[in-house]
A and B are shown apart, each in its own frame.
Chain A
């Protein structure tokens, strides 16, 4: 008779016992991410909130509490009011343009054509190119002396030198320019979002609509668009948040000019808080974005929940 040795049970360490618990291990794994968010997002945010209600400047780094007086002062300033209006125009103008271009780009890229894969890859370029580099190129295109756009229009005989638009010198055109550059930057993201949404629609639905007599526009606006709206809304949330808080394009292209026509909250906050050293007012200007973004994001998330299929 063969006797089988009994396995000797190892004594389980307390350490092993704790980590073998699913809940504990999960918490341990997630902890670094939470810690990261708390330290690098939460703490600076709380610091910014406190700066905005204090008298803190680089000249006099005091933490004296001043209540909402910083907010009162900036709200009563006509330059701030203009800046706030510019920020909305810049954000929603560039998002709208980016979405329209993204939709058409996605429609074109859905159709098979030779080199489609290369075009799909190339279309990501505006998103991948560093913004400082891209803005230098745009600055050259809009330059008052060497504008490539004006040079082309003049060469083609469409306009004369005296009729050439002063892209960055005219307040309305300058705003249009920063909107166009931001839309150009956002457009690849919009294309990807639309492509992802459109490819996820079952072909049966489109075929059924076609059989029922729905034409191109009807299919697009009554079938495709409502079905992909939740995913487009998520993309739009990202676009709005990033654009509303952005200062790079304005800083690099117009420096807020001409006559403050393109100044946006991010740029104004940077100029006042960092360049001029008035940290408390700079923080107050920057925090003004928070309630706006909060309501926009909540509104859009509620909309997405209702539209979920």
Chain B
């Protein structure tokens, strides 16, 4: 009869040791076979945000895979939520390991991670030679003024035009082409149950829109050199006073809590009379509410007392210095630039070109969009490089301007005055003090 053997301490140690030894030696024994298999296949890994136009992601994945098949390179594309991009970049840089090609969205990246990124000046200059001069907003993305190099490939920017309900604005006989008209007409339409919807919350949209308003009033938080804070000015106070009036007269307090999706929902649901947003809001309306979509019209940002300008969001690719396949990343970007018109079409005109002739005018879709009535409804977007700027305007984008953006200082300056928590003058002083602190910090370290 077999008696169950007793588990002694020695036996436990022996068995556990053997199990660990077997588990530990498995990779060692299999390494020669695996490494040979891996050596035969080159890889390229890409990470970028989940695009607001899902069809673009599908197109990009297929495009990248096809390129990989042609070149015998296994390409993987990871899409991450836009809010996770900054944290992912920090994690990859700290670990010195990650994807080969990193796609940034919005503020930050190219300047902040400059020391971690491959110099892509040759690539950008060759694409510029082929597809025309880089636009002003394009040069604000990834270009280092000090040594005239590029630390990232400028892919595209997202513009923020006005989207308004034509029938409602025609009904009151006002065209929202100036900020004053937006306030005056917005007040009338708010009475009718159709307020203006521009977020005063903590997200990208208000960060972009209120900068545009600030600039159009002649204010800015830094000068052209990017060395001095110039926020505390008469122009800024006027801009802040205007926002307080716009909030009280033409908007509701809902805007204080909004995320980037809220203003889209506001106009798509038929409530709002005007928002300032990329055309994703209109594209969504086309799918959800055709009647409202047909009534949504697009125009340039409102004129201010000094200029007509609006913030734009920058998109760019960086190649990590620690990337395993830098050559493949560079080759892929070259091929991508040569097929940029397809990318533009796949994004339904959401991705705006950086190089002057990369999408020749009249641009497909924007000049003649078969899904829109009238077909030239979006044609004004072809000129958006004339009225779009990235957050550092009129100076360069650099880590301090990014931190001001990430800390929502311009949004909070406007919101503090709008809600009456501070006077316009106090709000501007508070914001200027915050900006000074951030500039002091970064100037000593830059």
Contacts and interface: CB of A to CB of B under 8 A. Distances in A.
Interface of A: 16, 19-20, 25, 55, 57-62, 73, 77-79, 142, 144-146, 166-170, 174, 254-260, 270-272, 274-278, 281
26 contacts: A19-B9, A58-B90, A58-B116, A60-B115, A60-B446, A144-B257, A166-B253, A166-B254, A166-B256, A168-B256, A168-B257, A169-B255, A170-B256, A258-B200, A258-B202, A258-B419, A259-B416, A260-B412, A272-B407, A275-B86, A276-B399, A276-B403, A276-B406, A276-B407, A277-B402, A278-B403
Interface stretch (B40-48, B262-270, B337-345, B377-385): B262-270
Contacts of B211: none
Given A78-B433, A259-B421, A272-B406, 9 more contacts: A57-B442, A144-B257, A169-B255, A254-B257, A257-B256, A259-B416, A276-B108, A277-B90, A278-B403
Interface of B: 9-10, 13, 86-87, 90, 93, 108, 111-116, 200-203, 253-259, 262, 265-266, 269, 271, 399, 402-403, 406-408, 412, 415-416, 419, 421, 430, 433-434, 437, 441-442, 444-446
A21 B6 CA distance: 20
B202 A277 contact: no
A19 B433 CA distance: 65
Given A169-B254, A255-B203, A276-B403, A60 B87 contact: no
Pairs A-B, 7 closest by C-beta atoms: A169-B256, A168-B257, A169-B257, A257-B202, A144-B254, A255-B202, A276-B403
Contacts of A258: 200-202, 256-257, 415, 419
B189 to A, nearest CB: 17
B269 A145 contact: yes
Nearest to A145: B265
B258 A144 contact: yes
A57 B108 CA distance: 13
Given A58-B93, A144-B258, A145-B265, A77 B437 contact: yes
Nearest to B91: A274
Nearest to B272: A145
A266 to B, nearest CB: 13
Given A255-B202, A256-B408, A257-B201, A277 B257 contact: no
B201 A255 contact: yes
Given A257-B201, A259-B415, A275 B406 contact: yes
Contacts of B446: 59-60
Contacts of B442: 57, 59, 278
A78 B430 contact: yes
B266 A277 contact: no
B86 A55 contact: no
A274 B87 contact: yes
A206 B399 CA distance: 64
B406 A271 contact: yes
Contact of B115 (A59, A142, A174, A257): A59
B86 A274 contact: yes
A254 B111 contact: no
Given A166-B256, A259-B412, A59 B90 contact: no
A257 B445 CA distance: 29
A19 B430 CA distance: 67
